[in-house]
Structure 1
Amino acid sequence: MAHLTKPTQYKIEDSNIALLGSDLEKRVREHAGDTEPAWESAGKAVGTQVWRIEQFHVKAWKQPGEFFDGDSYIVLHTYKKDPNAEALSYDLHFWLGENTSQDEAGTAAYKTVELDDHLGGTPVEYREVQDYESPRFLSYFPKFMVLHGGTASGFRHVTEAPPLNLFNFYHISASKPASTGVNKPANLIVRQVTNGYQKAIKRYPNDVFVLDKGREIWQWNSKKSSGKEKFKAAEFVRTIIDARKHEPVLKVFDEGGSGANRFLSELTEDHAHPSNADASGTESEADTPLVTPATSAPSSPVLYRLSDASGQVEFTQVVDLQGAGPTPTLADFDSADAYVLDDSTDPDVPAVYAWIGKSSSVVERKNAVQYAQNYLWGLNGGAQGGGKKRSSTSIVRLTQGNESSRFLKVVGARA
């Protein structure tokens, strides 16, 4: 029998997200081919398209809004800035599950750049990390779900007939429309929790949780949960019950109410998924969310220039700002260079922007995202300072003349 090896899991804190000069880059390029058939229909009309990476290949994903933590995806949102205009604009994201492999993550990053080039270099690119998605990304999906599994390990859909020993625990929340920048109702967000169940309840006291036991479905309403969260949880539970021909029995538990202890006593680590818990049974690092920015993060936006004008690539902070205040303005950006703008402490939309000038060099263009990633990794001390949490901040790549409205707002310019 052939010896089977598990694909190497990608670590989000890996500083080489751009794959520059790596063996992984060579493997991705070998499998990429000259043309990508998936891009033939990309960005032709207003809407959202999703592709999943499968064995170095890009495959159209038929369940938009449903993501698996063992996979990597590419998401293209096509829209019109002016509803009456013919011109299309693009937001291009690649999403990395916490258990995705290096090959999948590398292919997603590489293919995202390829699709950007296919669309003329005009899209705004976003790197999205599981549990740290940008509000813009979440706004595309009325129901956004992250489930355990993936193309390598196999997976079951939530609504499939359950086995007798089913134990699936879900964290239910609602998006905040005000932070998405679009006038839409709150979206349903469902995240499968694979360990640290009771800690999750304590960490998110404003949300609702659902335990799917197959023949019974238990819903936990936290004391501080609003009607919006309870309503969204009910929507999710109803889809499961309806798909299983109304067989599961729903039981609702209110924190502090009758039967609450019964619900909590069910949440033992005996049910934890081995891939997401360490050998001692304690909570893994991936279970710790990014709650507040690192203490070393700047309190206001900070600008760095990436330039090879001297013959060597230099990454330096821009201290002589053109504006009157401490915040960088668009006048501080030179089209001959690339820049990294750190706005990671924004309470609504934390991000680090990699801005590419029209006349920037090939080296500057290729390295801008890499320097943004290196900057995040080192901002909180790298591996010795909790760099994983810092590295999960959204990285946004944009080119001069195609800036996002959010970026223009940060630098005080009009969209």
Structure 2
Amino acid sequence: KDEAGTAAILTVELDAALGGRAVQYRESQGNETEKLLSYFRPCIMPQPGGVASGFNHVEVNEQEHVTRLYVCRGKHVVHVKEVPFARSSLNHDDIFILDTKSKIFQFNGSNSCIQERGKALEVVQYIKDTFHEGKCEVAAVEDGKLMADAEAGEFWALFGGFAPLPRKTASEETGEETEAAVKLLCFNQGQLEPIGFESLTHDLLETNKCYLLDCGAQMYVWMGRTTSLQQRKGASEAAEKLLTGDSRTKSHVMKMIEGYETVTFKSKFNEWPPTPDLKLSSEDGRGKVAALLKSQGLDVKGLMKSAPVTEEPESYIDCTGHLQVWRVNGNAKTLLASSEQSKFYTGDCYIFQYTYTGEDKEECLIGTWFGNKSVEEERVSAISLASKMVQAAKFQATMARLYEGKEPIQFFVIFQSLQVFKVCF
């Protein structure tokens, strides 16, 4: 608890030192988002133990290889979790990896899909290279082959022999969390004060205060532009204490400063004005970091430039140009009607072409937008189709590649009423 609170405060300090532009995410073990997992290939696999610190005493105790059972879930990124080494942990829907001293088994549930099996195979290779120095056998066991297959027989023998797998209980099959009521709290003088509202609008947020938007599974910490570093650290710490006190280990926290809000945060509000083109200087922050490191005798060469460099002005894009949007379907693209151009789905990829009048000629921007749940095949297809469009324009167009949640301000100038939908099956 103490380390988690300290990490939250240090994250705010680091962001402030580097300009305050970043969105800060709080993730918890076992409930990582796909965004975080996408940075660690092929997976995150927590190990027992920890790092010695003022809060944590660690005893180094080398042990022999212990047989472990892992469950793997996910088509695009992999959630890996250690489960008890018992038959009751297995089921027909997931993929399991049994790591023994001399052999690694991949058990493919009969209801698992080919994408999940491919991702799990990457995890098997990672375990082999990391924990066995590449010197062990690997076997795939298909759910339903029973004892007819030699490797299946060897697998089931480790569980004391074959027996039918248990079915999921009704609560597990329909274990969808009910959507919690949205709450808005203001951080004022070290205390959280609830704010009542009939309609959640942007006007409720004041630039000299910090707020917590509690949506149940997600919590957002919004920090006004004129708030002090102490206020931001206090709000961050308050969010950590609130989640800890309510034992909400599965909730995620996103912290952001005014002017750099994410699309998901804005979507919680019934009204959100056009985002102004705010610019925060990060050069002063880097100077402070460089001075601190230099005072500690560290080499800061390259952190600060010898002479100030004037940033190139960002290209001007107005909202009076002509916009066309296509949705990618396999290796083809489908043109969307103008009424559907601002409705994106998180499981799809899109291509957009925007032409507008520049300073001395007509400018053209061709971009791709990838939803967080989109598949790799369609992303590759989108890039290929967009490249062909740039070629058709005799390479006079500018090409951009954008990802959901990381869009620049210019993107929202073009798509002024963008809505991102999540499809649940």
TM-score by length of 1: 0.51
CA distance in 1, matches of 2:134, 2:226: 61
Matched, 1:404 2:262: yes
Q: Deviations over 1:171-191 (max 9, x none)?
A: 22225xxxxxxxxxx134433
Alignment partner, residue 196 of structure 2 = 319
Alignment-derived partner of residue 136 in structure 2: 248
Shift of 1:208: 0.8
Match of residue 237 from structure 2: 370
Aligned position for 1:172 = 72
Whichever residue aligns with residue 214 of structure 2, its letter is: D
Give per-residue Cα distances to partners, 1:146-178, cap 9 Å, x unaligned.
Answer: 13234445699xxxxx96x54132222225xxx
Structure 2 CA distance for partners of 1:397 and 1:155, relative to 1, 3 Å:
farther
Q: Residues 3-402 of structure 1 correspond to what in structure 2 (within 5 A)? A: 14=1, 102=3, 105=4, 108-149=7-48, 150-151=50-51, 152=58, 166-175=66-75, 186-191=76-81, 193=82, 195=84, 197-202=86-91, 205-240=92-127, 247-259=135-147, 263=155, 266-267=158-159, 292-293=176-177, 298-299=180-181, 301-308=182-189, 313-321=190-198, 323=199, 328-344=200-216, 350-360=217-227, 364-378=231-245, 382=246, 387=247, 390-402=248-260
| Residue 225 of structure 1, CA deviation | 0.9
Distance 1:197 1:106 in 2: 36
Separation (CA, whole Å) in 2 of partners of 1:246 and 1:402 = 45
Contact 1:173 1:207 in 2 (8 A): yes
Distance in 2 (CA, whole Å) between partners of 1:106 and 1:303 is 21
Could you tell me how far 1:246 is from its partner in structure 2? 6.5
Q: Secondary structure at the match of 2:80?
A: strand
Unaligned runs of 5+ in 2: 52-57, 161-171, 275-411, 413-425
Whole-angstrom distance in 2 between the partners of 1:263 and 1:230:
17
- Structure 2: how far apart are the matches of 1:314 and 1:108? 20
Provide the rounded CA distance (Å) in 2 between the counterparts of 1:337 and 1:130: 31
Q: Deviations over 1:67-98 (max 9, x none)?
A: xxxxxxxxxxxxxxxxxxxxxxxxxxxxxxxx
> Residue 399 of structure 2 aligns with which residue?
none
Q: Which amino acid aligns with 1:220?
A: F
Q: In 2, are the aligned partners of 1:217 and 1:249 still within 8 Å (CA)?
A: yes
SS, match of residue 143 in structure 1: coil
Residues 148 and 155, structure 1, Cα contact 8 Å, conserved in 2: no
One-letter amino acid of the counterpart of residue 227, structure 2: S
Q: How many residues align?
A: 248
Larger radius of gyration: 2
Partners of 1:194 and 1:206 in 2: CA distance: 15
Identity across the alignment (%): 26
Displacement of 1:228: 0.9
Unaligned runs of 5+ in 1: 1-13, 20-101, 157-161, 176-185, 269-287, 345-349
Deviation at 1:247, TM superposition (A): 4.5
Give 1:400 shift. Answer: 1.0
User: Matched residue of 2:146: which SS?
Assistant: coil
SS for the counterpart of 1:120 is coil
Q: Could you tell me how far apart the structure 2 residues matched to 1:237 and 1:371 are?
A: 40
Instruction: Check conservation: 1:352, 1:396, Cα contact below 8 A.
Output: yes
* Pair 1:372–1:292, CA change in 2 (3 A): farther
Verify the 8 A CA contact 1:302 1:343 in the aligned structure 2: yes
- Deviations along 1:296-323, one digit per CA (max 9) or x if unpaired, are x724x32222224xxxx553332234x4
Partners of 1:172 and 1:207 within 8 A in 2: yes
- Write the distance in 1 (CA, Å) between the matches of 2:85 and 2:99: 16
Match for residue 178 of structure 1?
Answer: none
